[in-house]
Amino acid sequence: MLSRSSSLYTTEAAVALHESVPPDRWCVTRADLKQLRREVWQAIQKGEICPPDDGSDDFDSSDQLFGPSIYTVNKQHIMPVTDLVGKVSWALMIHPDGLECHLFISHAWQEGVFEFLSKVLHSWPRAARNAWCCMLANPQNLDIGSLLQAPSSSPFALALRASSCVLVIPNRHCSIYTRLWCVYEACAHEEGKTIFIARASNGPQLRRSLLLTAALGVLGMVFGACTNQWHLPVGNTVPLCLAFASVFASVSLNDYQLRMVLNRSGTVMCGCMVFHWHTIQNRHIVEGVASSVQRVAWLIGAVLFLCLEVDRVNGRARQQEEVQLLTSPLVEL
């Protein structure tokens, strides 16, 4: 577990700490966010974080994909924990001297905490060591309104100026660009800061899709080996034409479901022809060499379809994030 500040503050001392440490230094590290994820999960299992009685966040306690909303986590975990040490922010509770700001995280609070953390951790820029995130940076038990009276000198604005890049976190509930705070991202763009759009790892989907596609390719090889003795007049021409057509169609089309069918059928066909292919012989090439080279070419074709499947899965993930970013319903401020 990460070591936290052992200091207990009075309310006056907490206010003084936030006045003495510049707002742009109210930052956390990547390791801090991993620790927060563990803490929240443990709190859910202990019943310390549970769905609110008003039905505003009816999350499943066994769900590690989305989890409770940031609103719920703030009210039921961050505020109680920081209240115990004297109402300082979560960031200064862990790092009382503050940390240099490299990354500004922009989000909407309606997303699930595990959704938020997985996207931040997966998309964290390599050059950034510390990040400023409002739910952890601001003292949630103190008067935050007093910090926002002058937008140009608010903690948001100061942290944004100090950061070198911005990480925008889309979510499945609302577009973050329906929030009033998106003016800060506009300022970041005007100042030439690099803005990244975060997304969660699609590793599980990618592995599942590749395993299934590769398995179909192996089945194609088995079928080709079993039918190797069949000699059809168009035994070479048809599969060759279909393979090229599938490649060009998969590259050109935007329909992800159709591309999946093309990639998988193409892999089956290439796998089949590794054994079923009738060698095209040339008198200048040794027969065994020609057969091996042409069958290796079909194996390369199968690998090409696997690469196209990777591109399809990644493209679909990017499209889903774009939809979340731009077309979600309006959120109340």
Kindly report, residue by residue over 198-229, the tens digit of the pLDDT. 888 888 899 999 999 999 999 988 988 887 77
What is the average pLDDT across 173-193? 65
State the pLDDT confidence band at 3, using cuts at 50, 70 and 90.
very low
Q: Is the pLDDT of residue 183 over 60?
A: yes
| pLDDT cut 70: percent of the chain above it | 83
Q: CA 99 to CA 23: how far, in whole Å? A: 10
Distance (Å, whole) CA 167 – CA 116? 11
Residue 35 confidence (pLDDT) above 60: yes
Residue 284 confidence class, pLDDT cut points 50, 70, 90: low
Could you tell me whether strands 165-168 and 103-106 are parallel, antiparallel, or unpaired per DSSP bridges? Answer: parallel
Q: What is the pLDDT of residue 331?
A: 40
Give the pLDDT confidence score for residue 128 in this predicted structure.
Answer: 94
**How buried is residue 97: exposed, middle or buried, by Cβ count under 10 Å (0-12/13-18/19+)?**
exposed
Output the CA torsion sign for 19, 21, 27, 31.
Answer: negative
- Contacts for 314 with CB less than 8 Å, ≥ 6 apart: 202, 206
- For the chain, how are helix, strand and coil distributed in percent, rounded to 5? 60, 5, 35
φ/ψ region of 142 (left if φ > 0, alpha if ψ in -120 to 50, else beta) reads beta
- Tokens 């510390």 sit at which residue? 130
Residues 6+ positions from 42 with CB-CB distance below 8 Å: none
Structure tokens at 223: 């079928």
Q: What is the spatial distance between Cα 206 and Cα 313, in angstroms, rounded to a whole number?
A: 6
Return the pLDDT at 197: 84
Tell me the mean pLDDT in the region 72-83.
Answer: 95
Structure-token pair, residue 126: 């390599």
Amino acid 184: pLDDT: 61
Give yes or no for a contact between 41 and 64, defined as CB atoms under 8 angstroms apart.
yes
Kindly report, residue by residue over 55-65, the tens digit of the pLDDT. Answer: 889 999 999 99
Name which of 26-30, 87-91, 310-314, 326-330 the model is least confident about: 326-330
Higher pLDDT, 176 or 65: 65
For the entire predicted model, the pTM comes to 0.76
Task: Report residue 99's pLDDT band, with 50, 70 and 90 as the boundaries.
Answer: very high
Is the confidence at residue 307, as pLDDT, over 90? yes
Which phi and psi (to 5°) does residue 273 adopt?
A: -75, -10
Q: Report yes or no: 206 and 310 within 8 Å, Cβ to Cβ.
A: yes
Query: Tell me, what's the pLDDT at 232?
Result: 60
pLDDT for res 1: 40
Token pair for 208: 């599942």
Q: What is the pLDDT of residue 115?
A: 92
> What pLDDT band is residue 181 in, cutting at 50, 70 and 90?
low
Across residues 177-191, what is the average pLDDT? 63
Question: What are φ and ψ of residue 62, in 5° steps?
Answer: -95, 0
